[in-house]
Amino acid sequence: MKHQRSIVTFTAIAMPGVLVAMTSFLTPLTPGTLDRSPEQVRMPTADTRVVCPGPLLTAGEAEGTDAEFVDDSKVSTRVVSASAPIGAADGSTSSARLQVADLGGSIDFDNPSGQGFVSGDDSIDSTKLVTGFARPGAPALTTGLETVEGSSGDLTGLATLTCAQASSSFRIVAGSGATGSNSQLLLSNPGDVPVQATVALMTPGGESAEPTELSIKAGQQRAVPLGGLAGGAEALAVDVTVDGGVLAGSVQETVLDGLKPQGIDLASGGAGADRQQVLTGLGGKDVRVRVANPSSDLAEVSLKAYGPDGEIDIPRSSMTVVGRGVAEADLGDLDATSLVVESSQRVQAGAFIGKDGEQGAADFGSIPSTDSLAETQILALPRTGESSLNLSPGQGHVQVQGMLDDGTLTDPQSIDLNPTGTTVLNPSDVSEESVRALVLKGSQASGSQADGVHATLVVTTEDGISTVVPAPAPAGVAYRDIRLG
């Protein structure tokens, strides 16, 4: 079985008179590796904090008005958190201390640093803040994963979300203002002071109305119904900029066709806008790609698709996106496909995959564009359904380790990449025991059909479909070489 490989072991940032080379935090550089007597400087590491948005919000005001509109949905919301071992500058290896708490409230548990930890599949009834505390010289390789599973009523389907880090600006390519869709932007403030946010919506016709300004109190989450800001718009992208702090954001969408549930979803921001975007894990019914163009100029976009056996034909190979707008293309039914989106302007892409349910019901899941795999990343696995890890075309290999219930890691496996197609790995192939998270190392991988190698986990249940992406590489490196001249 072929597997993927990831990208960044070395990044160079050029500035006038200064060249800064950032290296892996796992292996300090040997003195003298640069031409002009570099100094090896230890850099600080940073804690990792992510926000899991909590249970789905429903239109409670409709309940009790008529029996037809009473929501009898049975929905389970759970969070898994994990902390994996990572090397420090002093040569030691251990996992970061991991804390889970209510946003702005009490602590659920605080697990000390050690040799690896995976939480239980904990039911939650509120927004959660997951914090990985970095050690000196070693960043926190931690993550949080939220799973929402609906088994009856209006909210039937599966939604999974890699809990998002807070940022001063982000864009989420998801949501709709169309009839039948209930889309809400969830903004969480993990800080100690209120912050101001500006929310702008991008639609197929361009930006919708004037941006909306709102305040989010410290330690609280605020929901913004998107239908009220862009009613009738079939496809949206949400731009958020923050003044005075940072916010974590996600878009919740639930869809009904009359009285038939058509799915639930949670989406967060993907890779930043660029002239190339990569989406992988496009496998399901009625696949759609959505492209947002944050520039004021028209964007001409090309699409190339790669299935397990190589490049494939798709119904649309190009699309045009108006300035400050979005556009969608229907790609039909696909199997384990990676999509390379290239544009004349910097754009941001997302995709949607679907699955049929019973008696006319259905479900859908969103896929964000991803950054290339980094030196070491962690991906928590939902404890429901079946999962497959999709890796975009590449050369070399990705190293994969499974994390077990007791926090230990399995022996590393090298997954050879398919240079012309998507590589698919079943997490159950990593170990005979139950695997709760994957640690992915991409230093020996490079992209063959796009920049870098990209990963997405696709999760399916009897009635649902959703996706999970690796948590961003942890902040902080053990050493940085600086050369002046």
**Is 170's pLDDT higher than 50?**
yes
Residue 448 lies in a domain: yes
**Is 35's pLDDT higher than 70?**
no
**Is 41's pLDDT higher than 90?**
no
**Is 69's pLDDT higher than 50?**
no
Residue 318 lies in a domain: yes
Of 225, 221, 163, 165, give the one whose Cα is nearest residue 195: 221
Contact 26, 376 (CB under 8 A): yes
Contact 199, 238 (CB under 8 A): yes
Tokens matching residue 179: 């009839």
Provide the greatest CA pair distance for the chain.
Answer: 77
**Residue 26 one-letter amino acid:** L
Residue 388 lies in a domain: yes
**Which backbone phi and psi does 69 adopt, to 5 degrees?**
-110, 5
Contact 387, 461 (CB under 8 A): no
* 451-477 burial: b if 16+ Cβ within 10 Å, else e: bbbbbbbbbbbebbbbbbbbbbbbbbb
**Is 239's pLDDT higher than 80?**
yes
**Is 23's pLDDT higher than 60?**
no
Residue 119 lies in a domain: yes
Residue 22 lies in a domain: no
- Least confident among 70-84, 142-156, 231-245: 70-84
pLDDT of the residue at 237: 98
Of 82, 124, 112, give the one whose Cα is nearest residue 406: 82
- From CA 58, how far away is CA 68, in angstroms rounded? 15
Would you place residue 259 in the very low, low, confident or very high pLDDT band (cuts 50, 70, 90)? Answer: confident
Residue 15 lies in a domain: no
The per-residue pLDDT of the chain, averaged, comes to 88
**Is 283's pLDDT higher than 50?**
yes
pLDDT of the residue at 387: 98
Of 92, 169, 104, give the one whose Cα is nearest residue 138: 92
* 126-138 burial: b if 16+ Cβ within 10 Å, else e: bbbbbbbbbbebb
pLDDT of the residue at 88: 85
- Least confident among 112-116, 333-337, 450-454, 479-483: 479-483
pLDDT of the residue at 59: 60
Residue 166 lies in a domain: yes
DSSP 473: P
Question: For the residues 457-483, what does the mean pLDDT come to?
Answer: 81
Number of H helices and E strands in the chain, helices first, is 0, 39
pLDDT of the residue at 89: 80
**Is 131's pLDDT higher than 70?**
yes
pLDDT of the residue at 57: 87
User: How crowded is residue 310: how many other Cβ atoms within 10 Å of its Cβ?
Assistant: 13
> Which domain covers residue 472, as residue numbers?
42-56+74-478
pLDDT digits (tens, 9 = 90+) for 385-403: 999 999 999 999 999 999 9
Would you place residue 140 in the very low, low, confident or very high pLDDT band (cuts 50, 70, 90)? Answer: very high
Residue 310 lies in a domain: yes
Q: Quick one: 347 exposed, middle or buried, by C-beta within 10 A (0-12, 13-18, 19+)?
A: buried
Of 232, 134, 135, give the one whose Cα is nearest residue 175: 232
Question: For the residues 334-347, what does the mean pLDDT come to?
Answer: 98
DSSP string, 102-170: ETTS-EEEEEPSBS-EE---EE-SS-EEEEEEPBTTB---EEEEEEEEEEETTEEEEEEEEPEEPBSEE
- From CA 27, how far away is CA 118, in angstroms rounded? 25
Q: Looking at the 3D structure of the chain, how many domains does it have? A: 1
pLDDT of the residue at 58: 77
